[in-house]
Structure 1
Amino acid sequence: MTLLLSRKSIVLLLMGTLLIGCAQFAPQTLFESYIKDLNRSEYLQIEMDSELSWQSLPALRTRQMELSQFDVGLLEFLSLQQCDVGAVAGQRNSILGRVMPTSQRFVYELDIIRAIRSCEIEDTDLRTKLTDVANIKASELPIAFSNMLWAGEETASLFSLANGFIPVSPEASQYQDLITALQHLERIAGNLENIPNVRSADIEADMKVIYESEYLGKLLYSIVHIRHYLEATTQALEPLSQNQSVCGAPLNFLKQQFEAHYIKLLQPYMARINRVAYQVLPLLQSLVQQSPLQAPEWHSFIRQFDVRDSHSAWQGYLSASREHGRAWSRIFAVCGEAVGNA
């Protein structure tokens, strides 16, 4: 009986893995079906090459910035127990503190600034020293915040290209939790000079959402592949706008494929991608602009998501989408046909 259950568990696990894999690449199947059916026409021969161009997330060393180190001596630690400064600094110097995640390091920096500034210190030299420390840490909060966003394990997951496309399912492609988390982080970024009172649990919840979304890697993977499919198809369609022999039955067949695949399946999928991206990408851009991170490799990478840069992957995808629609419109126009539901 135990062996039977084990086999059943293995089968279920394999089926689950297969379903996840299918979901990750379902959009690829949709685009390939579109091209395959268009290629059934004697007027079209769409050929796909294997060249895809994107930049992967640069190495951690280009995304992480150093923070000033601060250690409290033993006597000072004992003298500051009532002010919580020693306790907070001791946490940082503990074994756990030395491997503190970037999100917790950011919260720690906020905590120790508040602890120092709220503490009544009688020793003048010590008060001066700690005031200077608090001021330095306050000036470095944008660095700690940037490290949290771009140098943690959440970053690697957020930008991972290993997870395939944005899901086709409307329910799985909304990413509302991610939008809410980024909005919260943007508010914090804009209020760093006031040393915001941030709860560790809230920060961890935001970073967990970012980690689990895998969104920006999926977005980049999706738009680069979609652009590739659309540009190849558009290139094959272009000559037909100068060829009236396609009018009549040949065009009717092509129009059926256009409406069955592009209008009913692919265009709604792309619209869902756009709807979320138009909310996420401005938030991403705002967070990037407020970060002091200046590494050229980082800026070259993140520029792929720039909504205004004409050379970005995002704008390349939008341009390919527009040109694809125009190519069909020109073919329909030469034959005096309406675009249908386009």
Structure 2
Amino acid sequence: MLRFLVAGILVWALAGCDSFSEARPMMDEYLERLSRVLEVEQVDSQPLPPADSLPRRRERLLTLPELELGLLDFLSLYGCELQFVVGEKASVLGRVMQPVNRLRYEVRFIRAAEDCLPEIDDEELRESLVQAIKTKRDALPIAVWNATWGTEEIERLVTLSKGFYPVEEKAVATSDLLRDLNQLNRVVRALNNQQLDVSLDDLGAIHQRWQAEFKAGQLINSARLLIETLNAGT
């Protein structure tokens, strides 16, 4: 019963604290009002519950298996789009692909290789390509991981060093974040289910928005503050 009372008072307290522009003073005010309502001594705020930070990027990145086609095999792909896909990967820029571009490459390789199979008469080359497709499909979840949790952009999005979520922040900011996460979840779910027709066009824009803000980390800190405040009040 006390927890329900606390929750109700918290809603009332938050609604009446528009004059506060920061989260911590708002929670301190809540504890003060709670003590007055319950006629008990006010408790001091406690340290925030612990939260793990992301490991370093080199610890998060997973190794993708590399497939090297011999020169003769590469030339034998003449007329297939796969030859152009492999050629791009072999270029200077292709060797330093960012994770999201590497994911796009892996998907393009699989699709182009499967389209190329009917055009190949050489049984040995055909078998090599079938094995390459299997290897790429098996490793696709690794490419998906690297393009999400292995990026530099997500470090900024979830950093815990930027304080609490702004009290006066407009709701559209969190709705944009939620929209991006929902869209990304749909892409990840499709790729992990080997559905390669899903569009990857918006991944770059999502990463750019992650790079420009750190709202997820602020929301985590605010949730920790709410947990600490509720624990202190009960």
**TM bucket, shorter chain:** 0.7 to 0.9
Measured in 1, the distance between the counterparts of 2:47 and 2:84 equals 57
Alpha-carbon distance, 1:44 to partner: 2.7
Counterpart for residue 79 of structure 1: 76
Which amino acid letter does the alignment assign opposite residue 96 of structure 1? L
Measured in 2, the distance between the counterparts of 1:43 and 1:132 equals 71
- Output one character per residue of 1:18-68: Cα deviation in whole Å (capped at 9) or x when no partner: xxxxxxx72123223445677899953432344642211123344322211
Counterpart for residue 44 of structure 1: 41
Give matches, 1:134-283, under 5 Å. 134-169=133-168, 171-172=170-171, 174-192=173-191, 193-232=193-232, 234=233
Counterpart for residue 88 of structure 1: 85
Gaps of 5+ in 1: 1-24, 235-322, 324-342
Counterpart for residue 69 of structure 1: 66
- 8 A Cα contact 2:111 2:196, kept in partner: no
Which amino acid letter does the alignment assign opposite residue 196 of structure 1? L
- 8 A Cα contact 1:117 1:134, kept in partner: yes
Measured in 2, the distance between the counterparts of 1:199 and 1:45 equals 55
Aligned residues: 210
Counterpart for residue 54 of structure 1: 51
Counterpart for residue 241 of structure 1: none
- Output one character per residue of 1:153-175: Cα deviation in whole Å (capped at 9) or x when no partner: 12212221122222222525652
Which amino acid letter does the alignment assign opposite residue 25 of structure 2? T
Which amino acid letter does the alignment assign opposite residue 226 of structure 2? I
**Are residues 162 and 213 of structure 1, via their aligned partners in 2, closer, same or farther at CA, if it must alter by over 3 Å?**
same
Measured in 1, the distance between the counterparts of 2:33 and 2:174 equals 32
**Are residues 137 and 221 of structure 1, via their aligned partners in 2, closer, same or farther at CA, if it must alter by over 3 Å?**
same
Counterpart for residue 21 of structure 1: none
- When the two structures are superposed, what TM-score results if normalisation uses the length of structure 1? 0.54
Measured in 1, the distance between the counterparts of 2:195 and 2:125 equals 22
Which amino acid letter does the alignment assign opposite residue 73 of structure 1? G
Counterpart for residue 278 of structure 1: none
Counterpart for residue 111 of structure 1: 108
- 8 A Cα contact 1:102 1:148, kept in partner: yes
**Are residues 61 and 170 of structure 1, via their aligned partners in 2, closer, same or farther at CA, if it must alter by over 3 Å?**
closer
Measured in 1, the distance between the counterparts of 2:213 and 2:56 equals 21
Measured in 2, the distance between the counterparts of 1:227 and 1:47 equals 14
Which amino acid letter does the alignment assign opposite residue 109 of structure 1? E
Which amino acid letter does the alignment assign opposite residue 138 of structure 1? R
Give matches, 1:273-312, under 5 Å. none
Measured in 1, the distance between the counterparts of 2:87 and 2:161 equals 39
- 8 A Cα contact 2:159 2:214, kept in partner: yes
**Higher normalized helix content (fraction of residues):** 1
Which amino acid letter does the alignment assign opposite residue 225 of structure 1? L
Alpha-carbon distance, 1:112 to partner: 0.4
- Output one character per residue of 1:244-269: Cα deviation in whole Å (capped at 9) or x when no partner: xxxxxxxxxxxxxxxxxxxxxxxxxx
Measured in 2, the distance between the counterparts of 1:57 and 1:210 equals 15
Q: Mean alpha-carbon deviation: is it higher for 192-201 or for 36-45? A: 36-45
- SS of match in other structure, 2:184: helix
- 8 A Cα contact 1:85 1:116, kept in partner: yes
Measured in 2, the distance between the counterparts of 1:29 and 1:190 equals 41
Give the superposed CA RMSD.
2.8
Which amino acid letter does the alignment assign opposite residue 111 of structure 1? R
- SS of match in other structure, 2:55: coil
Residue identity (%): 33
Structure with the larger RCO, 1 or 2 (CA within 8 Å, 6+ apart): 2
Q: Mean alpha-carbon deviation: is it higher for 71-80 or for 124-133? A: 71-80
Measured in 1, the distance between the counterparts of 2:175 and 2:133 equals 36
- When the two structures are superposed, what TM-score results if normalisation uses the length of structure 2? 0.76
Which amino acid letter does the alignment assign opposite residue 86 of structure 1? Q
- 8 A Cα contact 2:48 2:224, kept in partner: no
- SS of match in other structure, 2:51: coil
- SS of match in other structure, 1:201: coil
Measured in 2, the distance between the counterparts of 1:160 and 1:53 equals 14
Runs of 4 or more above 6 Å deviation: 36-42
**Are residues 223 and 69 of structure 1, via their aligned partners in 2, closer, same or farther at CA, if it must alter by over 3 Å?**
same
